[in-house]
Amino acid sequence: MDIAPPISDKARQALGFLTEAETAALESFGAVIPCPQATLVSPGVALGPGVVLWPGVILQIAAGGSIAIGDGTILFPGTRIVATGGEVAIGPNAEIGDEGGFTVKADAEGIVIGRDARLLGGGSLTLRNRIGDGAQIIGSIRCQNCTLGAGGSYRHPIADERGAVLKGAGVAREITLSQGLVIQAFGLFADATVRQQSFFHPHERSPTP
């Protein structure tokens, strides 16, 4: 006699997600999932060893998209990553969704997030975005077609050698920012001043020769 799956699993499967047991089984490949019943993952998502999926994380693939997350990356509660016909590629040791979650939605153009990147505070990436190694988005910022240059992580001791940073709240469209630069804005980032990161962290400047 066949036994019907739990109601929660029926809903998961109807929406294209793994069952609770299948989600928990991802830990056998090295992922860390403290609460599988509160985590939604589509079949085919690639998770590197040590990836942490906190409760409330959604990883959704549709229309032939793909999601690949590098070793040791942490996805905090409220993080939603959707690949609809496009690619989301996240490097190792990134931190996404702390302090309010984060949304990443890729269409055919795709989104790349580098190693040691940090995205927090309820922001989002849509359309085409290239977030370099060590780059940061801090705050409720809607990013569309942005490129943030690679550099050291936020832990790097010299501010102007870190990846590019957007911080504040508002809309960032068609922004290209090089290593060591930062825009702080509350509105349209295209209208704001570009500064060296040492402007905000003067004690973390390069030593004077």
Domains of the chain, earliest start first? 25-204 (2.160.10)
H-only helix segments in the chain: 7-14, 20-24
Whose CA is closest to 52, among 40, 34, 38? Answer: 34
Alpha-carbon distance of 69 to 100, in angstroms, equals 20
Give 3-state DSSP helix, strand, coil % of the chain, rounded to 5: 15, 40, 45
What is the model's pLDDT at position 11?
A: 94
What is the model's pLDDT at position 207?
A: 66
What is the model's pLDDT at position 3?
A: 55
* Strand positions, DSSP E, the chain: 40-41, 46-47, 52-53, 58-62, 66-69, 74-75, 79-84, 87-90, 95-96, 102-106, 111-113, 118-120, 124-126, 129-131, 136-144, 147-148, 165-173, 176-177, 181-188, 194-196
What is the model's pLDDT at position 204?
A: 78
What is the model's pLDDT at position 5?
A: 59
What is the model's pLDDT at position 1?
A: 47
What's the number of CA atoms in the CB half-sphere (13 Å) around residue 196? Answer: 12
Q: What is the mean pLDDT of each run of 10 residues along the chain (209 residues)?
A: 67 96 97 97 98 98 96 98 97 98 94 98 97 98 98 97 98 98 98 97 75
